Chain A
Amino acid sequence: MTQPLLEVQDLHTVFRTKDGVVKAVDGVSFELTPGETLGIVGESGCGKSVTALSIMRLQRPGRIVSGKVMFKGQDLTRLTESEMREIRGKEIAMIFQDPMTSLNPVFNVGWQVGEPTRLHNGWGAKRALASAVSMLGRVGIPSAAARAEDYPHQFSGGMRQRAMIAMGLTMTPEVLIADEPTTALDVTIQAQILDLLRHVNREFGTATILITHNLGVVAGMCQRVIVMYAGRVVESGPTPDVFAHPKHPYTWSLLRSIPRLDAEKHEPLRPIEGVPPNLIDLPSGCVFHPRCAFRIDRCTRDVPALLQINDTQHAACWVTQAGGELKGA
């Protein structure tokens, strides 16, 4: 196995609120290998975005209370703010869900896309703009030189997201973190952006962490996937294996609860009953046990660790760790 590019080890990030401590990320570990696209999938509040923000050290007002984020032999959680600024946007870039709020409305697009080169390379305005225009062209913005003069509100949603991707790629980072990059977009525009991300991954060799709630997007984009629930990783493995035979009941139920466009006949959906837990007051044992159809006594008492189930898959489940099968009507 190749050396991991980025390694998250037992990361814990918490938020203090007036109601108590929210354990947004509660012991998350995973690796990202060079050039791969890794999916992080889960519902809102599962901790997938906070995990990404913690890697970038942008988790405030949250606090990283323990764990490591190893990147090129250094632990990012221990860097000073100025050391971190050297990494951010240069070696690890991030793009967000809503490109309207993540672009500054008072600067034109070309200026903003060129900002990383001015900041990290110390380039002058002219040179930075030239590189921004070339980047905008590479991410598929027609007449890039003219459009670079435009302000974000003059761009459509899809074009803004292209501009964000261009900005993320200007320093040719080794890691690109895309947090729900297509959620705010229409499906035909989503298809364009996903195609662009595939292309970026091939052309630049950028390793990508793709955060999404959409299992279809993971299926089409990611070689490996980690599934998060209530701040924890419940399952991980190669995407084809996880989708074909999931080893955690949450993944298993989620896959059966969504309608598929290619379904042959109409069958009632099988919903997961109940709601995701309150992160201030997590259930004992396995966090998924109150909603789990396969629950055994032990699940309510002991927290299962993420362990290897077979050659390729890991799951945090007492049932599958004991060799149990996930089957049902």
Chain B
Amino acid sequence: MPETAVEKLGLAWTASQPLVSVSDLKMWFPISSGILQRTVGQVHAVDGVDLEVNAGETVGLVGESGCGKSTLGRTVIRLLEPTAGTVRFKGADITHVRGRKLRALRREMAMIFQDPYASLDPRQTVGDIIGEPIDVHRLAKGKERQERIRELLRVVGMNPRYADRYPHEFSGGQRQRIGIARALAVEPTFIVCDEPISALDVSIQAQIINLLENLQSKFNLTYLFIAHDLSVVKHISNRIAVMYLGKIMEVAPSAQLYRRPRHPYTGSLMSAIPIPDPAVELRRERFILQGDVASPVNPPSGCRFRTRCPRAREHCAEEIPTLEAFGLEQKAACFYPLD
């Protein structure tokens, strides 16, 4: 049995501590221009995020396009090296790990991608796609490897004989199952699911959501579930973090967030989600946000949401609100929160 990342990093961790913890994380991307490609600005994709994910839970990460949720997900599992801040996994600082240690870390973490058409190599067979992480980490060879691939296909609800086929032979939902099997191949503890169902048809989405839930209880997985669809996120997550322009605006247990949002952005996001029930829609009070999201290159001073916020006052432009506790499990970054 190969060493786990934690053993390699030489640290002890107990399940009572957060599995993943991120503090003051920043991920900026330079913008270059001109013939000398000089850096003329920075995209503040993730700009000071604190977040903890406990073992066995699902934390949902919601926000509109460009809010930095995917970048945060990629930084947390170290597909990107952060500009500043720290990422801890099982207590170990993994912010800047490289080489052997980073490879060991890749056995603990995996990612499921949005587009099941773009994330599978069309020239590889399904077996080779799922087998690649097994080969890279030297987890199995020969017959044992074949058996593991077949087992992984069974686990995601596919016929093991499909190992010899190519991705184009499958529908979107089946491809997403292949992507999930590949993520599971290293037997990870933590999986970042980046919009795993947004590219799928409505009737297929529920199949994949249920599969992810079943796999979680079967293998005791921890998920960071990134999506823009708040109904799906609320369904699958224990807790939800709401992001806006690189910052977390609010974190709360799912039901609490819906019942009593504290941040005006959360409130308007909730009110913008259509509910598939005409009777409910008729009674609903609509709270429509004006304008568009500001630019992450030059974010507004103070609270980033203030340019669209119906409750914003002068103070919101002067100081950046930090996440404050509302009761035991809820936090919101707002000077004038909702009741």
Contacts and interface: CB of A to CB of B under 8 A. Distances in A.
Interface string A258-300: 1111110010111111011000000000000001000000000
A44 interface: yes
Interface string A47-64: 000000000000000000
Nearest to B270: A261
A17 B271 CA distance: 44
Given A191-B272, A243-B276, A258 B231 contact: yes
Interface string B193-213: 000000001111111011001
Contacts of B141: none
Contacts of A276: 201, 203
A305 interface: no
Contacts of A270: 206
Which secondary structure characterizes the binding site on chain A? Answer: helix
Nearest to A264: B255
B230 interface: yes
A262 B258 contact: yes
Interface string A175-202: 0000000000011111110110000000
B201 A43 contact: yes
Interface in A115-145: none
B230 A187 contact: yes
Given A43-B201, A216-B274, A219-B275, A257 B64 contact: no
Interface of A: 43-44, 156, 158-159, 186-192, 194-195, 213-220, 239-240, 243-244, 253-255, 257-263, 266, 268-273, 275-276, 291
Contacts of A190: 272
Interface residues of B, number: 45
A214 B232 CA distance: 13
Contacts of A275: 171, 173-174, 204
Contacts of A254: 202-203
A187 B288 CA distance: 10
A255 B276 contact: yes
Given A257-B206, A261-B258, A187 B277 contact: no
B206 A188 contact: no
Given A269-B206, A271-B206, A276-B203, A258 B276 contact: yes
Contacts of A188: 64, 268-269, 272, 288-289
B281 A192 contact: no
B273 A187 contact: yes
Contacts of B274: 194, 214, 216-217, 219-220
A181 to B, nearest CB: 13
B277 A219 contact: yes
Given A260-B275, A266-B235, A186 B64 contact: yes
A275 B207 CA distance: 10
Contacts of B229: 187
B279 interface: yes
B73 to A, nearest CB: 18
Contacts of B288: 188, 191-192, 195
Interface in B33-71: 64-65
A243 B203 contact: no
Contact of B213 (A187, A189, A268): A268
B334 to A, nearest CB: 17
A83 B290 CA distance: 41
5 contacts: A156-B292, A216-B231, A258-B231, A270-B206, A276-B203
B273 A243 contact: no
Given A243-B278, A258-B231, A266-B235, A159 B202 contact: no
A220 B203 contact: no
A253 B206 CA distance: 11
B143 to A, nearest CB: 32
A272 B206 contact: yes
Contact of A219 (B65, B171, B276): B276
